[in-house]
Structure 1
Amino acid sequence: MPLTPWRLRLLIISLLTVSFLGALDHTIVATSLATITGELGAVEQMSWVIVSYTLASTVLLPVLGKLADLIGARFVFLASMALFIVASLFCGVAQDIGQLAIARVAQGMASAGLHLMPQTIVGEVTSPRERPRVLSLIGAAFPIAILVGPLAGGLITDAWGWRWVFWINIPVGLVALALAAIAVPHIAGRAARRFDIAGAVVLGITVTALVLAASWASTHEPGSGIPLLIAALVAVVGLVSFVVIELRAPEPLVPLRLLGNRTILISIVLSAVIGMGLFSVVSYVPTYIQMAYRTSATVSGLVPIATVFGMLVSTLVTGSLASRTGRYRVFPIFGTATAAVGLLVMALLPAGMPLWVPMLAMGLVGIGTGSFMNIIVAIAQSAATRADTGSVTATVSLVRQVGSTTATAIVGGLIGAGVAAGLPSTLDAATLTPQIVHGASAAVQAQVAALYSGIMAPIFVGLAIVYAIGIVAAILLPNGRLSDERATAAAAVSEAATA
């Protein structure tokens, strides 16, 4: 039953609040990470706080997507919200790194629901034409959290202590839970013979092995070679096994038949492009700016801010335009091309250019990515049946997250190897910081700047090629039109897919 305009506004506010809370948790913790691990006496295990959260969130995406299809997205959403509040409480009372890691696993599991269920609920209760606008409003939580999170994390840690970084989720989460209980309508699931337990277990092992392999590949720690090879082998064997299981399962966790729909397949490819092309490099850009442009950490943050701000503006504008016109194909074509141009400009920039130049270039990458980041979710949902809304939404998100994790490790490995090989003999790669470089002689600073520019240029070119592949995929996207009718949710884009 269609929602009234008032009920839809209340629903958007509720979903936006929860999405912002989930996105903020990741960025706010990153700022406080050094303080947290230092007070717990576990600086050498700092990665556990992040990896445990990321693993749990990634592994649970397809599971929650299928559960939403079977038992209803509202129940999964409210349960995820409740678990997030409880997990935040236990994160704040943790007395050692082991307790915190376990609590972060629970928090990561819940965050998967906070990220996925708002998109799934929108796909269930809105028409295909409405979805781009609504998804863009909810999706704005992510870039806003990136802008606000680091500052909020620092202020809370300095004023109240790191435990309040987690405890602040409790009052805000209770308000969001109450609002969601009122605003989110009942969404019926569908009866199924049984849940695909074998597929869930194998996919969980596969994704875990892949994330661990990517993490170990980026550390360059002695003795990590054998664990890396074992994890990579487990990931490959697990992927093959998962495909076999899904082909035979009566109710597969990830319906592989969806890949036979060209619209869904291309949406998944474009999601992978976002993960590999932007999210893999954005965390390394500030260090690159500090080294190559010899700026402070504060000033270097202006470049990713320009990227995120461009993403925020473009996702709101294109979402509104797509809902107004019903046309969607132009946005991923424009977006992938714009992002590719921005990355090529970054690759061609010589060291020492005015800071506004890389800000403009990375702003183009953000504008291009935001142009289709949420629209492809709406396109994929509109090409699937209602019974597969949760699964197709989860698949799009899973591919982006896995692509981001894997590509981040590759980019980090390339930067680390390049710095270690080309660094002047007067500096030590293991202890290199921007402060040390800025305190060195002008000649050494120039050498390091040239080194980082030489390392990053081919990386930016490679990522531009990833977006170029996205251009080809976007051109192959069927040129359909999103329907106004809720009853024809799957027909609008499916017709174009078979044209």
Structure 2
Amino acid sequence: MALFVAILSSTIVSNALPRILSDLGGTQAEYTWVVTASLLAMTASTPIWGKLADLFSKKLLVQIAIAVFVVGTMLAGLSTSTPELIGFRVIQGLGMGGLTALAQVVIAAIIPPRERGRYSGYLGAIMAVATVGGPLIGGVIVDTIGWRWCFYVTVPVAVIALVVLQRTLTVPTVKREVHIDYLGALLVAGGVSALLIWVSLGGKNFAWVSLASLAWLAAGVVALGLAVLVESRAKEPVIPLKLFGNRTVALATVAALFVGVAMFGSSVFLSQFFQLARGASATEAGLLTLPMIAGLFIASTVVGQLISRYGRWKPYLVGGGISLVLGLLIQGSIMSADTPYWELAVSMALVGIGVGATQQNLVLAVQNQVALRDMGAASSTVAFFRSLGGAAGVAALGALLSSQVSSSITSGLTAVGIPASATSSSGGQIPNLATLPEPVRAVVENAYGDSVALMFLVAAPLALIALIAILFLREVPLRDTIDIEETAPVPDDAPVAVVEGTVRDDDRPAAGAVLTLIDRSGRQLASGTADDDGRYRLPVTGDPVPYLLVAQWRGSPHVELLGGGTGVQRRDVRITQGAPTGRHALDAATDVLPAVAR
């Protein structure tokens, strides 16, 4: 419930923005900032909330985040000017940052990775409905009871969430000495904010090549450079740099960054496309985005279930990345004021499936490889880069849209012999199509249709970068424990190997399974049985040669080939129907041992 209202609040205003900005006298640039302000605050605060979760009570932090969110939301609904609204959206964003980061941290603290895919699917489905369902809900509200209720409507749900969490949530809190890196947090937030302001205002409030532009850029780069220096020396860094030494964490954060662009950019600017390029009402614009909602919801739920069932996550991430790239390319290629709706629906569904299959499972892949003590920082780091991508994407794409729309309308009106002053859009104002004469309205619709299409074409190569990062991820089997188990040190005086892992019969632990390690000559090196949870541990003393691991379960042996080496080797065994078993499997595996040894 808490995550739902946090994500919903970032998108529910998207369909209402044309009406809100019209009532408050806002410009296209302010249109972008109403969205960017909350995303910016959410982005900058996410790693701070995550680090606090490693140090303090996760339950208390969730409750504080809800309270901050409720205050910001109520104030936003009372706004009387666009600058006021932008300021209150910042407060709202601080609470949103806590809720989006802490929801996944809480799940990670009580659910092992092997089962977490299912819960990530639930969170993904909630985020899917809130991300793209927000515009639909907002459209209905703005067409019936007024845009201010786009803010008020989330408050009762947030308050109910606060009460329910107080009564039901129990999360373990590890008591330890607390060291908060205030300087690092300030530098991270300041550096990110400066760069996003530079991207948002460049080309409008100041020229790209100007002293003001250089100042914002330099401030952001210097602040982030100092943040890296401070974080490398801090006792409890906000973003532990050691996490990026892990290949999965590094690649997942890159992918999350560019998935965020598609996730937020699509929902924010699609509603503007349907209202200003195709003349739809706010409610109709929400209904027209249903294919994306369906894609997000189905992909998040189904993929989460499949990951928990089969223990594999990379194929779904790759498939989601491909779907996202194709969807954005199709949208950018076909989108216009008169494109048949079914073509738009297919492209929206592809984007929805892509985001749904990737956004939560990138976090899952990271959580599977970090210890519980770093879970908050690791989870929030991925969420941070996803939000950063969203904020930067909305800011940059919004700046592109504003510039493109203004020039397209001016040139379009000039081409038909109408002065540019015939519509306020030439000055940056959001037009009201109902008040425009037909020739001017046609020019405005075509300008918005072509400009939004260009935005999606720009977003497609960014999604391709996310796909490339996903392709280089190395799939590690999902563990069955909450925390990474500490392993006994290997003695220095002998080449000792330890083979450990779990044995499962489909989704059930194969308790009592007999496991045997043999070498290429058939000599037994170690044996043991799996415990009630299917866990086993086989210590081996001897030369580091290839091994055969034989798991005997209910009469049929399952054989796996392992490479040689010292230290700990982890191998999770899944006994499935139809796999080679018995003597044939043993013979086949033994035949390849000499080649492996060579």
TM-score by length of 2: 0.70
**In the alignment, which residue of structure 2 is the partner of 1:19?**
3
What is the 5 A alignment of 1:10-89? 17-30=1-14, 43=26, 50-89=35-74
Q: Which amino acid aligns with 1:243?
A: V
Q: Is the 2:253–2:382 Cα contact (8 Å) retained in structure 1?
A: yes
Asked if residue 234 in structure 1 is aligned to residue 219 in structure 2, the reply is yes
Q: Residue 373 of structure 1 aligns to a residue in which SS?
A: helix
Indicate how the Cα distance of structure 1 residues 168 and 231 shifts in structure 2: closer, same or farther if over 3 A, else same: same
**In the alignment, which residue of structure 2 is the partner of 1:279?**
264
Structure 1 residue 415: deviation in Å? 3.3
What is the 5 A alignment of 1:33-432? 43=26, 50-91=35-76, 103-153=88-138, 164-192=149-177, 194-217=179-202, 220-221=204-205, 227-288=212-273, 294=278, 296-297=280-281, 301-349=286-334, 351=336, 352-422=338-408, 423-424=411-412, 425=414, 426=418, 428=420, 430=426
- Any idea what the Cα deviations from partners look like across 1:208-253, whole Å, max 9, x if unmatched? 21232233137x2468965444222211111111111111112111
Q: Which amino acid aligns with 2:9?
A: D
Indicate how the Cα distance of structure 1 residues 307 and 106 shifts in structure 2: closer, same or farther if over 3 A, else same: same
Q: Is the 2:279–2:433 Cα contact (8 Å) retained in structure 1?
A: no
Q: Residue 479 of structure 1 aligns to a residue in which SS?
A: coil
If each structure's strand is expressed as a fraction of its own residues, which one has the higher value?
2
Q: Is the 2:136–2:285 Cα contact (8 Å) retained in structure 1?
A: no
Q: Is the 1:62–1:253 Cα contact (8 Å) retained in structure 2?
A: yes
- Any idea what the Cα deviations from partners look like across 1:283-334, whole Å, max 9, x if unmatched? 3334445676x45356555553322321111111101101111100101111
Q: Which moved more, 1:209-218 or 1:353-362?
A: 209-218
Indicate how the Cα distance of structure 1 residues 93 and 360 shifts in structure 2: closer, same or farther if over 3 A, else same: closer
- Any idea what the Cα deviations from partners look like across 1:411-445, whole Å, max 9, x if unmatched? 23333333444432136351674838985449x94
Q: Which moved more, 1:173-182 or 1:45-54?
A: 45-54
**In the alignment, which residue of structure 2 is the partner of 1:6?**
none
TM-score by length of 1: 0.82
**In the alignment, which residue of structure 1 is the partner of 2:555?**
none
Structure 1 residue 60: deviation in Å? 1.3
Q: Which amino acid aligns with 2:481?
A: E
Q: Which amino acid aligns with 1:375?
A: N
- Any idea what the Cα deviations from partners look like across 1:144-187, whole Å, max 9, x if unmatched? 22454345445556766665554444443332112111222132
Select which of 459, 463, 480 maps to 1:484: 480
Distance (Å, rounded) in 2 between the aligned partners of 1:174 and 1:456: 37
Q: Which moved more, 1:350-359 or 1:60-69?
A: 350-359
Structure 1 runs not aligned, ≥5 long: 1-16
Distance (Å, rounded) in 2 between the aligned partners of 1:266 and 1:98: 38
Structure 1 residue 31: deviation in Å? 5.0
Distance (Å, rounded) in 1 between the aligned partners of 2:15 and 2:448: 25
Q: Which amino acid aligns with 1:404?
A: G
Indicate how the Cα distance of structure 1 residues 211 and 151 shifts in structure 2: closer, same or farther if over 3 A, else same: same
Q: Which amino acid aligns with 1:408?
A: V
Q: Which amino acid aligns with 1:369?
A: V
Distance (Å, rounded) in 1 between the aligned partners of 2:449 and 2:92: 38
Indicate how the Cα distance of structure 1 residues 490 and 60 shifts in structure 2: closer, same or farther if over 3 A, else same: farther
Q: Is the 2:200–2:396 Cα contact (8 Å) retained in structure 1?
A: no
Indicate how the Cα distance of structure 1 residues 418 and 489 shifts in structure 2: closer, same or farther if over 3 A, else same: farther
Distance (Å, rounded) in 1 between the aligned partners of 2:486 and 2:355: 25
- Greater RCO (CA < 8 Å, at least 6 residues apart): 1
Distance (Å, rounded) in 2 between the aligned partners of 1:163 and 1:280: 23
Indicate how the Cα distance of structure 1 residues 109 and 447 shifts in structure 2: closer, same or farther if over 3 A, else same: closer
**In the alignment, which residue of structure 2 is the partner of 1:470?**
466
Q: Is the 2:320–2:358 Cα contact (8 Å) retained in structure 1?
A: yes
Distance (Å, rounded) in 2 between the aligned partners of 1:178 and 1:277: 34
Distance (Å, rounded) in 2 between the aligned partners of 1:179 and 1:66: 24
How many residue pairs align between the two structures?
474
Indicate how the Cα distance of structure 1 residues 489 and 120 shifts in structure 2: closer, same or farther if over 3 A, else same: farther
Q: Which moved more, 1:20-29 or 1:474-483?
A: 20-29
Q: Which moved more, 1:52-61 or 1:119-128?
A: 52-61
Q: Is the 1:386–1:490 Cα contact (8 Å) retained in structure 2?
A: no
Q: Residue 358 of structure 2 aligns to a residue in which SS?
A: coil
Structure 1 residue 256: deviation in Å? 0.8
Structure 2 runs not aligned, ≥5 long: 488-500, 502-567, 571-598
What is the 5 A alignment of 1:436-447? 439-441=437-439, 445=442
Distance (Å, rounded) in 1 between the aligned partners of 2:312 and 2:449: 40
Distance (Å, rounded) in 2 between the aligned partners of 1:308 and 1:149: 10
Distance (Å, rounded) in 2 between the aligned partners of 1:361 and 1:349: 9
- Any idea what the Cα deviations from partners look like across 1:452-471, whole Å, max 9, x if unmatched? 67656664444322222223
- Any idea what the Cα deviations from partners look like across 1:449-499, whole Å, max 9, x if unmatched? 4x667656664444322222223222211122212233447999x989xxx
Indicate how the Cα distance of structure 1 residues 350 and 128 shifts in structure 2: closer, same or farther if over 3 A, else same: closer
Q: Which moved more, 1:134-143 or 1:95-104?
A: 95-104
Distance (Å, rounded) in 2 between the aligned partners of 1:417 and 1:93: 30
Distance (Å, rounded) in 1 between the aligned partners of 2:53 and 2:569: 26
Indicate how the Cα distance of structure 1 residues 46 and 475 shifts in structure 2: closer, same or farther if over 3 A, else same: closer
Distance (Å, rounded) in 1 between the aligned partners of 2:459 and 2:33: 28
Structure 1 residue 100: deviation in Å? 5.8
Q: Which amino acid aligns with 1:464?
A: A
Structure 1 residue 365: deviation in Å? 1.4
Q: Is the 2:328–2:347 Cα contact (8 Å) retained in structure 1?
A: yes
Q: Is the 1:303–1:362 Cα contact (8 Å) retained in structure 2?
A: no
**In the alignment, which residue of structure 1 is the partner of 2:492?**
none
Q: Which amino acid aligns with 2:465?
A: I
Asked if residue 435 in structure 1 is aligned to residue 437 in structure 2, the reply is no
Distance (Å, rounded) in 1 between the aligned partners of 2:55 and 2:114: 25
Distance (Å, rounded) in 2 between the aligned partners of 1:281 and 1:464: 11
If each structure's helix is expressed as a fraction of its own residues, which one has the higher value?
1
Distance (Å, rounded) in 1 between the aligned partners of 2:17 and 2:400: 25
Max radius of gyration: which structure?
2
Indicate how the Cα distance of structure 1 residues 407 and 150 shifts in structure 2: closer, same or farther if over 3 A, else same: closer
Distance (Å, rounded) in 1 between the aligned partners of 2:329 and 2:116: 32
